[in-house]
């Protein structure tokens, strides 16, 4: 099939997106894509979803930190942001999705916003709230395993 002439092709913008969750979470590209479509349908409906698009391009995820490139139609960037802000859980694991920036091409977006994942978190025992707890430590961020799931902390809270 022949390509459309350039002036008739849809124009896209690519959102560089960061993902953060607890260190034991496992998320793959398919789950993220499904959650995006699902959230978009809930928030802006089928018609809005078609207007925004929201296809996932690049996707990396490791040890609770990840990044992705999400395609949106030009002119629907703000609605794309709204949908991403409403992604609260992926495969029943709480996540934080942040938009790091917007680019005109996939390549620029990857180069600028998709950093290599930080080194793996160090697993060790820390003193947290007067008890010895098991924790994942990555630079300043600490995820402490407590009786009721993980607690978010920093080096400021542990001795």
Partner 1 sequence: MYETVHARPDGTSTVSRLALTVSELGYDGLVVRCHDDAMAEYDPAALSTEFGIDVVEGVEIRADDRSAAASAITRHRSRRTIVCVHGGQHNRLACEDERVDVLAHPMADGDFNHVLARAAADNGVHVEFNFARVLRADGGERVEALRGLRRLRTLVDKYDVPYVVSADARSHLQLRAPRELFGVGATIGFTDDQVRHGLRAWGEIATRNRDRRSESFIEPGVRTGRYEEND
Residues that bind partner 1 (CB under 8 A): 20-21, 39, 42-44, 78-82, 84-86, 88, 94-96, 98-99, 140-142, 148-154, 156-157
Alpha-carbon gap, residue 6 to 14, rounded angstroms: 18
Smaller CB separation from partner 1, 43 or 108: 43
Residue 148 CB, shortest distance to partner 1, in Å, is: 8
- Residue 15 DSSP symbol: E
DSSP state of 9: S
Q: Which is nearer to partner 1, 11 or 130 (CB)?
A: 130
CB of 14: closest distance to partner 1 in angstroms?
16
Query: Is residue 51 within 8 Å of residue 73, measured between CB atoms?
Result: yes
By C-beta, is 2 or 92 nearer to partner 1? 92
Residue by residue, DSSP assigns 73-134 as: ETT-HHHHHHHHHT--EETTEEEEEEEEEEESSHHHHHHHH-PPPPPPPEEEEEEETTEEEE
* Shortest distance (Å) from residue 102 CB to partner 1: 10
* Residue closer to partner 1, measured from CB, 86 or 91: 86
């Amino acid at each position: 099939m022949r390509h459309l002439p350039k002036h008739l092709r849809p124009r896209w913008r690519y959102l560089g997106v960061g993902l953060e969750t607890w260190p034991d979470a496992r998320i793959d590209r398919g789950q993220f894509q499904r959650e995006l479509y699902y959230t978009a349908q809930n928030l802006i409906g089928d018609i809005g979803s078609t207007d925004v698009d929201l296809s996932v391009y690049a996707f990396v995820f490791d040890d609770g930190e990840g990044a992705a490139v999400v395609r949106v139609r030009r002119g629907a960037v703000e609605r794309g942001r709204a949908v991403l802000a409403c992604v609260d859980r992926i495969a029943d694991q709480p996540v934080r999705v942040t938009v790091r920036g917007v680019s005109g091409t996939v390549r620029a977006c990857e180069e600028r916003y998709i950093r290599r994942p930080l080194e793996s978190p160090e697993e060790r025992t820390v003193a947290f709230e007067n008890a010895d707890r098991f924790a994942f430590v990555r630079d300043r961020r600490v995820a402490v395993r407590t009786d009721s799931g993980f607690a978010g902390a920093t080096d400021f809270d542990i001795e």
